Structure 1
Amino acid sequence: MNKINVLDQGYVRLVDVMGSDLTPVNAARVSFDKESTEMTDKDVRLLKFLAREGHSSPFRHAFLQFEVYAPLMVARQWHKYRIGSTHLEEQDSYDALEAWNESSRRYITEDPTFYIPAFNEWRGKPENSKQGSGDYVPFDVGNPATKRLMESVDKQLADYEWALENGICAEQARLFLPAYGMYVRWYWSTSLQGVCHFLSQRLKHDAQKEIQDYAKAVLELTKEKFPASLSELIK
Structure 2
Amino acid sequence: METKVNVLDKGYVKLETNNVMGDDLSPVNDAKVSFDRESDEFGDKEGRLLDFLGREGHTSPFRHSFLKFEIHAPLMVARQWWKYVIGSDHAEQPLRNQDPHEAWNESSRRYVTESVEFYIVEADEWRSAPENRKQGSGEPLPLEQGEKLTEELIRNYEEGHRRYQEAIEAGVAVEQARLFLPAYGLYVRWRWAGSLQGVCHFLNQRLAGDAQSEIREYAEAVHTLSKQHFPNAIDALVRN
Query: 1:156 aligned to 160, 170, 178, which one?
Result: 160
Percent identity among equivalent residues? 58
List aligned pairs for 1:118-133, cutoff 5 A: 118-133=122-137
For normalisation by structure 1, the TM-score amounts to: 0.95
**CA-to-partner distance for each residue in 1:173-197, whole Å, 9 max, x for gaps?**
0000000000000000000000110
How far did residue 81 of structure 1 move? 2.7
2:176 and 2:99 map into 1 onto residues whose CA distance is: 29
The AA in structure 1 aligned to 2:155 is: E
Question: Structure 2 CA distance, aligned partners of 1:132 and 1:80?
Answer: 18
For residues 53-72 of structure 1, the aligned pairs below 5 Å read 53-72=56-75
The Cα shift of 1:93 comes to 4.0
Letter in 1 for 2:52: F
Aligned partners of 1:79, 1:155: CA distance in 2, in Å? 28
- The count of aligned residue pairs is 231
Aligned 1:97-108 pairs, distance under 5 A: 97-108=101-112
- Which of 31, 41, 54 is the equivalent residue of 1:38? 41
Render the CA deviation track for 1:8-29: whole Å, top value 9, x for unaligned: 0000000131000111101001
Query: RMSD of the alignment, in Å?
Result: 1.6
- CA distance in 2: counterparts of 1:126 and 1:198, whole angstroms: 24
1:214 to 218, 231, 235: 218
Structure 2 distance, partners of 1:136, 1:17, is: 39
Unaligned runs of 5+ in 2: none
Amino acid at match of 2:32: R
C-alpha distance in 1, partners of 2:221/2:113?
Answer: 28
Q: What does 1:51-200 align with in structure 2 at a 5 Å threshold?
A: 51-82=54-85, 83-84=88-89, 93-200=97-204
Unaligned runs of 5+ in 1: none
Q: Deviation above 4 Å: which 4+ runs of structure 1?
A: none
Partner of 2:13: 12
TM-score scaled by length of structure 2:
0.93
